[in-house]
Amino acid sequence: MPKILFDHQKFSTQHYGGISRYFANIIQSMRADSSYEYKIGCLYSPNHYIKNEPQLLNNSIGRAFLTSKYGGKTYKVNKKYCEYLIGKNQFDIFHPTYYDPYFIGKVKKPTVVTIHDMTHERLPEYFWSEDDLTRNKRMNIEVADSIIAISETTKRDLITYSNVDPQKIVVIYHGIDLEIQLNFQEIPNLAKRYFLYVGDRSGYKNFYRFLDAFHSLSLKEPNIEMILTGGGKIALADEELIHRLKLQDKVKHLNVTDEQLNYLYQNAIAFVYPSL
């Protein structure tokens, strides 16, 4: 029975998010399938999707220790724990959840890496020049024994922008769960008419262009609002532009549960995704 070690990275840094949800769904499927075993390289995680994971110390005592001056920060402690598990070598496959190359040269078993996109490589002008993500991703690609690409487009980009053997790449699309019934939770005081924007708002996502377009529309349709969710709190530069366009009463950021997000999708005029 193969045992897969998933490392801590996205479970240490994301409360909610697409990448951590991707790995949490894989783990959930493995939990229901006796053909596999898994281990998560986390002692404590703030992540919503694995909050009930029995391997974690997600209780008041564990949380207090791991976030105290004695235990250090969660990311640092979880990384040390991963290094400990890697050193024990009691697994068959290693699957990092993001691109920190701390494990390179230490893992003695096959490594599988998931590549979600090659946006940094395709559009470098939209990213900070000192960002080490591109370098770290390249290092992961170079040491991987197998690479999961989430689409044919990602596979083509991988071949174009990296020196990778195409035979190492397997395309596995994101799935949906047809058996789980969607639940909806109403959000009080929500505008009757709104556009919905979900997730990251950084440069290549074209959020500023969307704001400009919404500003023009709001002059003609003053009762329409823009609801943002995910992507972290609104950045200072975004706030400045929102105020400059006099949209501070029309643009709202909400932290929502899955049930509330379903409600937002269901009732929006449109879901807007202006990303390149």
Q: Coil, strand, or helix at residue 37?
A: strand
What contacts 138, CB < 8 A, 6 or more positions away?
162
Q: Which CATH number fits domain 3-171: 3.40.50.620, 3.40.50.1820, 1.20.58.410, 3.40.50.2000?
A: 3.40.50.2000
pLDDT of residue 123: 83
H helix runs in 54-198, sequence order = 60-66, 74-88, 119-122, 133-143, 152-161
How far apart CA 259 and CA 262 sit, in angstroms, is 5
The pTM assigned to this predicted structure is: 0.83
Identity of residue 98 = Y
pLDDT value of residue 241: 93
> What confidence score (pLDDT) does residue 70 get?
47
Q: What local confidence, expressed as pLDDT, does residue 62 receive?
A: 58
State the pLDDT at residue 46. 86
- Over its length of 276 residues, how does the chain's per-residue pLDDT go in tens digits? 899 999 999 999 988 888 999 999 999 999 988 899 999 999 889 898 998 898 887 655 556 655 555 445 788 989 999 999 999 999 999 999 999 999 999 999 999 999 999 998 988 887 777 789 999 999 999 999 999 999 999 999 999 999 899 999 999 999 887 777 889 999 999 999 999 999 888 777 889 999 999 999 999 999 999 999 988 888 888 999 999 999 999 999 998 988 999 999 999 999 998 876
